[in-house]
Amino acid sequence: MKRYLFSIVVAALMAAPVVAEAATHISPADKGIVYTGRVNFTNPESPLMVYPGTSIKACFTGSEIAMQAKPGSGYFMVTVDNEPARKIFFSKGDSVITLATGLRGDRHSVDVMLVYEGYRDRPEFRGFLLADGARLLAAPRQPERRMEFIGNSITCGYGSEAASGDIHFADSISNHYYTYARITSSTLNARHHVVARSGIGMYRNYAGKTEGDEDIMPKWYDYTSLYDDSQRWNHADYRADVICIALGTNDFSTPGYKAELYQANYEAFVKKLRKLQPKAKIVMITGPMLTGEASKVHVAAVDGAWKSLTAAGVKDIYRFDFTTQTGALGYGADYHPSKAQHVKMANELIPFIRKITGWK
């Protein structure tokens, strides 16, 4: 039976075999490590990532493994040998965390996923540590299917671990691993790529200007890291089969929205995506949070954009609406979807994706 130790206390780790002087350090640049998501490799020994859902995978030998990261790199979910995922936290005092000890057998796998919004802390991965004599194996084989999710707080997993809607946002209770997006990709055996940020919109952000904001998703979609224009993202590095756009909750959440500006930006963004990803199926989604008039206007605007784009000859675009949440499955922080609501959302989206792709 495998024995796992998920520790956050560096002092204890320093005495553990995996971080002894004889431990083998595996560079983040090692070809045996597979990344999925937008990662900035300007410093290949300390690659930076900010979007939740960004993952690091590898296969290795030996009985234990630890992870190195920049202190303060925050929250990750870790799966070793397909055991249930566990959450770890790099505080400002942590640079090494043991992921597993007491492993048996000759071959093991590790999957590490950033699960909170890292645009403030700028998490950096600095490699793995293996017990003396252990080594990294060939890179794990990745699914041929590829999905991308472009979204806001719902896609990020804002407050998904909160006990009720009365609890306010905190990184510690926000977990992308439990979102409809991650569940959908996993269920469909597809690689998972996320570009999302809480509060962001298609033409204006939460409580934004009536005429629109500058720091919206269509702007930052072109860059590797949110709020950092030093490196443009190479869209050829990830060719998605399906792109799900779930933006609009913030555009319409507060008074002053202009549906015509939202729709115009939406159409322009889809046309841009079609040029960047000519073979992808693009799904235009409305979320579960808006109600009343705002919801009606939002749905009508997305419908209008879809009809206009279709009439203009844009191919492989689809419409999908999540069921509005009622609270029957509880709420996450600030009345965002709960973990149970995210499961319901995934169960709604998965059959739709299967229908338009033919995936089983």
Q: What is the pTM of this model?
A: 0.94
Chain-centre distance for alpha carbon 304: 28
The residue type at 12: A
In a domain, 1, yes or no: no
User: For 13-51, how does the pLDDT look when each residue is reduced to its tens digit (9 = 90+)?
Assistant: 333 445 555 799 999 999 999 999 999 999 999 999 999
| Shared-domain flag, residues 95 and 43 | yes
> What pLDDT digit, counting tens, does each position of 191-229 carry?
999 999 999 999 999 999 999 999 999 999 999 999 999
Q: Are residues 118 and 203 in the same domain?
A: no
Does residue 168 share a domain with residue 306? yes
In a domain? residue 136: no
Is residue 216 located within the same domain as residue 313? yes
Give the DSSP letter of residue 152.
S
Any residues with CB less than 8 A from the CB of 262 and at least 6 apart, and which? Answer: 201, 202, 203, 204, 248, 251, 252, 298, 301
Number of folded domains that form the chain: 2
Residue 89: which CATH number?
2.60.120.260
pLDDT average, residue stretch 107-117: 98
Ranges of H-type helices in 131-286: 153-156, 180-187, 217-220, 249-252, 259-276
Q: Is residue 3 one of the residues assigned to a domain?
A: no
User: Residue 222: how many CB atoms within 10 A of its CB?
Assistant: 12
Indicate whether 206 and 273 sit together in one domain: yes
> Are residues 335 and 249 both part of a single domain?
yes
Range 161-168 average pLDDT: 98
Which range marks the domain in which residue 62 is found? Answer: 10-130
Contact 3, 65 (CB under 8 A): no
Q: What is the pLDDT of residues 64-94, one digit of tens each?
A: 999 999 999 999 999 999 899 999 999 999 9
CATH number for the domain spanning 251: value is 3.40.50.1110
**pLDDT for the residue numbered 2:** 31
Judge whether residue 1 has pLDDT over 70: no
- Residues 247 and 198 both lie in one domain: yes
Percentage of the residues of the chain whose pLDDT score is greater than 90:
92
Same domain, yes or no, for 86 and 159?
no
Mean pLDDT calculated for residue range 106-112:
97
- On whether both 177 and 116 belong to a single domain, the answer is no
Q: Residue 10 pLDDT more than 60?
A: no
Mean pLDDT of all residues in 245-252: 98
- Distance of alpha carbon 160 from alpha carbon 144, whole angstroms: 29
pLDDT score of 12 more than 90: no
Q: Are residues 154 and 62 in the same domain?
A: no
